[in-house]
A and B are shown apart, each in its own frame.
Chain A
Amino acid sequence: MDKVLMLGNEAIARGAWEAGVQVAAAYPGTPSTEIVTSLAGYDGVYAEWSTNEKVAYEVAFGAAMGGARALTAMKSAGASVAADPLISSVYTGINGGLVVCLAGDPGMASGMTEQDDRYFGRISSMPMLEPADSQECYEYVKLAFDLSEDFDVPVMVRLSIQVAHQKSIVRLDETLSGEETGRPAPERKPPDRKTEKYCLLPRFSRPLHISLLERVERLREFSEQSAADGVLAFVEPAAGADAGSGSADGPAALPLRDGGSARIGVVTAGAAYISAREALPQASFLKLGMIQPLPIEAIRRFAATVDRLFVVEELEPYLEEQLLAAGIACEGKRWFPQWGELTPVRVGRGFYEAGLDLPRWAREKAAEDVSVIPRPPVLCTGCPHRGMATAMKKLDLDVHGDIGCYDLTTLPPVSHMHSAVEMGASIPMEQGFTRAGGSEKGSIAVIGDSTFLHSGLTGLLNAVHQRTNVTVLIQDNSITAMTGGQTNPGNERTLAGAETKPVDIAAICRALGVEHIVTVDPYDYQACLDALKAGLAFDGPAVIITNRPCMLFPRKVGGAAYVVDEELCNACQQCMKLGCPSLSHTDATWKNRHKVAIDLETCTGCLLCAQLCKPGAIAPAAPAPAPATATKAGDA
């Protein structure tokens, strides 16, 4: 048997490939990104980074209508962007199977909110499967494609970051295992051309809504049957107990702290399952794999075998409310937090608080010593966002940001960004801020290239049409950097490696009707200041575009290092305002302030610090050798 360690997301990709997926489209977003990154590596799959999640959904939807099996993947916020086709496609149904992978981020490792994505299943009536480890990711996505075609509906595979980003063992299907072994060529169904199915005019969508509701009932029967068969939902007896012991008598009773005992049952799914099972392996579990529609009768049967039924789920009481509505007594959010990732200790503490006698969770234990120096992520050495951030701080502008690495300038040491909410928000929010009267020293919208191309254009168009006097800074580093360097329409190549024409952002702005467009080198501090001032002074929408690539992607940018002449350094601290990781204090001081040194290993020679250095203490590390022989002075 071929065993491999895979991320949950990689297992999704593998399973989708084995299931014959032909088209995959997504916009990058943690924790969903690796699904389509991985799929791009498989033969016979067309995979793309689309301009945004709505576009990606529609590409995959169109592929399914055209008869191919298709997949799209997104993070929570992406589902909000794609909500329109997500809901509408459940009305139309599909032709080839369509699987929607929706990866949530309880705990907000990198998300802006921790919305509970399961409600997208509720609002749309899209069936939802929820795997708990990489093996289930691999198996459920294959099942999802079959279900999609059997029931003529897109199927959601709902992931939580603990599942999407865990690495665990996957036992590959022996008939398909091995990198060399190709899958059988997927069969494309004849493309659909059905007006009454795909044109959501009222006359067609009214009957479609009725058949949608009938389909929900058929799915409910499937969910119940699958649970009865122990396939997508199954009873897991207490650890160490005989598999047959979860019978009519129910599980053995567990001791309570008040001296009594009770038969304990837990209903759970996905990431919450792994944490709950880790926290309380001695309980009997009903582990759900299909969470929409719920196998409510199977849950009722399970509930009858226990004295106390707990519902463990991350975020909202999604399961709990449905159980209560069905008249099944249970305990949930009373004991387990409604916010954050549910880790074993948080679930364990909940069971303890609920009266179970659990020595492992009896005491709160320290995870780390938070008094040790904080180490938050920072802008990289040589990051092209740094110059403009420092210049905007110098001018004390109100900075309305967007979603990208530049959000790191909200934190010390730059600490100068005043909003960063959701993709594309910067330019319209800046318009509203301006219409409200703006601010004394001026305000500006800041957005990256990928986010501008994702959802910034329509906002800028609005400013032009409304003649709103806004200044927009497009920090163009020619990559989707924060999620790990994915391509976007500004690049010369697609995800698949095909050559393409990079979009000209300045030309777009011009076409939208912007009359003041300036391109500036963000390593030239004075030019940054000048460009900002000119943009703010211009009467009408103004756009400033920076033109240096990301330091990390697509390749690490290097350059000759610079050094500080300790004699000349007067410890003025101007350079330290940049928050460059290559600058640090030395033991030497001047007027009780520490002088500064540059790390020669990591300095890329962007020279921003030298431009801020009043005594001119920063110079090339090597005394101007012939360019061909210039090297980094590595061991000075």
Chain B
Amino acid sequence: MSAVNQRARAAQGGAAGAAQAHYAGGVVDDVMVVGVGGQGVIMAAAIIADTAMLGGLDVKLSETRGMSQRGGSVSSHIRIGETVVAPSISPGEVDYLLAFESAEGLRLAPSLVPGGVAIVNLQQIVPPLASQGDFAYPFDAVERMRAEGAAAGSSPAGDEARAAGYRVIAVDGNAVGEQVGSVKVAGVVLVGALSAHLPFARETWEEAIAANVPPSFLEMNLAAFAAGREVGA
């Protein structure tokens, strides 16, 4: 009978310099990737999680599945640290929100931690319900996020942390993707934008991308990543 490990499963040491320092002392980064079924949210989450693992950290990921393929909202939670217990992020604790679609960004923005970062793709996908005229699609989602994010001090008195809003970085992932070859790599552009904020080496990200995209499209994806990393900083 094999001995079942007793939770001594944190990083086996070897986390590379910057990442190791960043996560020392129990820091956990909570990254949420949101979008619409079919946009590539799941692959982006896999790249982020693989990067963390290759960087020597513990990582857990959970995602919506099943019916999400039918054009519904999808989200992936990625938690990175020396030791991660729960795979899902708790409300109000998202450090980085990566939104593939702007209304989905607006929807999840309240889950950001004070001082958090929202990277929002400008793409807008109007659901059929809005087309029915029953609901209004928020075409001003990015502007509303900017206004909310900048609204410092809108929190209950005495809660110092709440004095900080959140930062909004708008990225035209589809346009950047098209510039480097195809709108299909827009998701990797967004991953590139996120990479500017996490403490992992560029090579680690590139290794994770290589593990998740077909070899024939690797070059285009790496170009998308590089372009995204530039606009996301």
Separation in Å of the B207 CB from the closest CB of chain A? 13
Q: Is A83 an interface position by the 8 A CB rule?
A: no
Complex formed: what's the CA distance from A234 to B67 in Å?
Answer: 37
Q: Is B36 an interface position by the 8 A CB rule?
A: yes
Contacts of B90 in A (CB 8 A): 278, 343-345, 348, 365
Q: Mark B129-141, 1 if CB is under 8 A from A, else 0.
A: 1111111111001
Contact A5 B131 (CB under 8 A): no
Complex partner residue of B50 from A1, A5, A231, A274, CB under 8 angstroms: A5
Contact A373 B136 (CB under 8 A): yes
Contact B128 A167 (CB under 8 A): no
Instruction: Determine the interface band of chain A, counting residues with CB < 8 A from chain B.
Output: 35 or more
Instruction: List A26-46 residues whose CB lies under 8 Å from chain B.
Output: 30-31
Q: Mark A270-302, 1 if CB is under 8 A from B, else 0.
A: 000011011001000000010000000000000
Complex formed: what's the CA distance from A585 to B69 in Å?
Answer: 23
Contacts of A85 in B (CB 8 A): none
Complex formed: what's the CA distance from A265 to B226 in Å?
Answer: 49
Q: Is A162 an interface position by the 8 A CB rule?
A: yes
Q: Which of B7, B86, B91, B103 has the most CB of A within 10 A?
A: B86
Contacts of B65 in A (CB 8 A): 30-31, 109-110, 165
Q: Given the known inter-chain contacts A274-B85, A343-B88, please indicate yes or no for A579 contacting B128, CB distance below 8 A.
A: yes
Contact A5 B53 (CB under 8 A): yes
Contacts of A552 in B (CB 8 A): 69
Q: Could you write out 27 A-B pairs with CB less than 8 Å apart?
A: A3-B12, A5-B59, A110-B65, A133-B87, A135-B5, A166-B61, A167-B62, A167-B87, A169-B53, A274-B87, A278-B86, A364-B91, A365-B90, A369-B108, A372-B141, A373-B135, A375-B73, A375-B129, A378-B128, A379-B70, A412-B132, A482-B66, A484-B69, A552-B69, A581-B127, A581-B128, A596-B131
Separation in Å of the B177 CB from the closest CB of chain A? 14
Contacts of A232 in B (CB 8 A): 4
Q: Is B115 an interface position by the 8 A CB rule?
A: no
Residues of A within 8 A of B (CB): 1, 3, 5, 30-31, 109-110, 133, 135-136, 139-140, 142-143, 146, 162, 165-169, 171, 230-232, 234, 236, 274-275, 277-278, 281, 289, 343-345, 348, 364-370, 372-380, 405, 408, 412-413, 482-484, 552, 576, 579-581, 583-585, 594, 596
Contact B127 A139 (CB under 8 A): no
Contact B87 A377 (CB under 8 A): no
Contact B4 A413 (CB under 8 A): no
Complex formed: what's the CA distance from A234 to B46 in Å?
Answer: 32
Contacts of B108 in A (CB 8 A): 367-369
Instruction: List B22-81 residues whose CB lies under 8 Å from chain A.
Output: 36-37, 46, 49-50, 53, 58-73
Separation in Å of the B76 CB from the closest CB of chain A? 9
**Nearest A residue to B125, CB-CB:** A375
Q: Is B95 an interface position by the 8 A CB rule?
A: no
Residues of B within 8 A of A (CB): 1-7, 9, 12, 36-37, 46, 49-50, 53, 58-73, 84-88, 90-93, 103-104, 106-111, 126-138, 141
Contact B127 A375 (CB under 8 A): yes
Contact A374 B135 (CB under 8 A): yes
Contacts of B91 in A (CB 8 A): 345, 364-367
Contact A594 B67 (CB under 8 A): no
The 5 closest A-B pairs by CB, nearest first: A365-B92, A377-B72, A377-B70, A278-B86, A166-B87
Q: Given the known inter-chain contacts A367-B111, A377-B68, please indicate yes or no for A169 contacting B59, CB distance below 8 A.
A: yes
Q: Which of B9, B84, B104, B128 has the most CB of A within 10 A?
A: B128
If A369-B108, A482-B66 are given as contacts, then 12 extra A-B residue pairs at C-beta distance below 8 Å, sorted by A number, are: A30-B66, A110-B67, A135-B9, A139-B5, A166-B61, A234-B4, A275-B86, A277-B86, A365-B91, A368-B107, A378-B72, A380-B71
Contacts of B128 in A (CB 8 A): 378, 413, 579-581, 583-584
Q: Given the known inter-chain contacts A274-B85, A369-B106, A585-B131, please indicate yes or no for A162 contacting B5, CB distance below 8 A.
A: no
Complex formed: what's the CA distance from A136 to B60 in Å?
Answer: 14
Contact B138 A373 (CB under 8 A): yes
Q: Given the known inter-chain contacts A377-B67, A412-B129, please indicate yes or no for A162 contacting B92, CB distance below 8 A.
A: no
Q: Given the known inter-chain contacts A165-B63, A169-B59, A378-B127, please indicate yes or no for A289 contacting B4, CB distance below 8 A.
A: yes
Q: Given the known inter-chain contacts A344-B88, A579-B128, A583-B131, please indicate yes or no for A168 contacting B70, CB distance below 8 A.
A: no
Contact B129 A373 (CB under 8 A): yes
Complex formed: what's the CA distance from A481 to B69 in Å?
Answer: 10
**Nearest B residue to A1, CB-CB:** B12
Complex partner residue of B103 from A167, A373, A380, A408, CB under 8 angstroms: A373
Q: Given the known inter-chain contacts A366-B110, A413-B129, A581-B127, please indicate yes or no for A167 contacting B86, CB distance below 8 A.
A: no
Separation in Å of the A51 CB from the closest CB of chain B? 21
Complex partner residue of B71 from A368, A375, A594, CB under 8 angstroms: A375
Separation in Å of the B108 CB from the closest CB of chain A? 5
Contacts of A275 in B (CB 8 A): 86
Contacts of B85 in A (CB 8 A): 274, 277-278, 281
Contact B110 A369 (CB under 8 A): yes
Contact A146 B1 (CB under 8 A): yes
Contact B130 A576 (CB under 8 A): no
Contacts of B7 in A (CB 8 A): 236
Contact B53 A375 (CB under 8 A): no
Complex formed: what's the CA distance from A365 to B155 in Å?
Answer: 12
Contact A581 B133 (CB under 8 A): no
Contact A368 B111 (CB under 8 A): yes
Q: Given the known inter-chain contacts A5-B50, A136-B4, A162-B88, please indicate yes or no for A413 contacting B66, CB distance below 8 A.
A: no
Complex formed: what's the CA distance from A135 to B37 in Å?
Answer: 28
Complex formed: what's the CA distance from A583 to B128 in Å?
Answer: 7
Separation in Å of the B23 CB from the closest CB of chain A? 15
Contacts of B133 in A (CB 8 A): 585, 594
**Nearest A residue to B77, CB-CB:** A166
Contact B132 A274 (CB under 8 A): no
Q: Which of A370, A372, A380, A581 has the most CB of B within 10 A?
A: A372
Contacts of A139 in B (CB 8 A): 2, 4-5
Contact A274 B86 (CB under 8 A): yes
Q: Given the known inter-chain contacts A278-B85, A345-B90, A576-B131, please indicate yes or no for A133 contacting B60, CB distance below 8 A.
A: yes
Separation in Å of the B200 CB from the closest CB of chain A? 15
Contact A377 B138 (CB under 8 A): no
Complex formed: what's the CA distance from A454 to B159 in Å?
Answer: 56
Contact A576 B88 (CB under 8 A): no
